[in-house]
Amino acid sequence: MVDRPSLEVVTEALGKAPERGFGETVEVSVNLKDLDLSVPKNRLEDEVQLPNGRGKAVKVAVFGSPELCQKMRGVADLVVPANELDEFAKDKKAAKKAANGIDFFLAEAPIMPTIGKRLGTVLGPRGKMPRPVPPGSDPTNLVNALKRSIRIRSKGNRTFHAPVGTRAMQPEQIAQNVDAVLNRIVGKLERGRTNIESVFVKTTMGPAVRLW
């Protein structure tokens, strides 16, 4: 099948999807081939900064020293000082709510082992273990970059999905995001493009339109 331009496919996918009463996500569906996904190195797990953002709020949490948390107030969506980490972890309901509602987590490197012990069972299965940051650093730029990013995670599945925008965005913006995501995926695969069986674009409840 001959490849089609991303903009053409995005426009068709938007046009074929009936209007819904909520803000639909636009996503790419990627089907892999010729990969042994029982081997961890063949599984995709990465973050991609979208050139036009995701089109909806992306939330970031920071665990760190009181000094770091003070810097991050008003920048991150949730800050948890290290001296409150035990109390936060003991509240299982709050911890699960954060794990489900926060997209990305950062933590000062020295407290990563503590987070692993206290919150590993909550964050690990969701692929949301924190990214370590150096103690005393100012991760403001990293937080702002993550607010424009998505996580790609195939786990052991040959088919996986990645959000590339919302229906409220311009088709050109979504198409640029699609290209950024697919370029990253191709770059991560053992044999690049030849490890991809097909790619589709669709809205949350709309029909899938083939891109590759």
Residue 1 lies in a domain: no
Instruction: Categorize the per-residue pLDDT at 152 as very low, low, confident or very high, splitting at 50, 70 and 90.
Output: very high
25 and 103 part of one domain? no
Residue 14 lies in a domain: yes
The count of other CB atoms within 10 Å of the CB of residue 86 is: 10
pTM: 0.83
Instruction: Categorize the per-residue pLDDT at 73 as very low, low, confident or very high, splitting at 50, 70 and 90.
Output: very high
The domain of 23 spans 6-55+150-210
46 and 74 part of one domain? no
Average confidence score pLDDT of the chain? 92
116 and 160 part of one domain? no
Residue 45 lies in a domain: yes
pLDDT (0 to 100) of residue 19:
84
DSSP line for 120-163: HHHHGGGT-PPEEE-TT--THHHHHHHTTEEEEE-TT-SEEEEE
68 and 141 part of one domain? yes
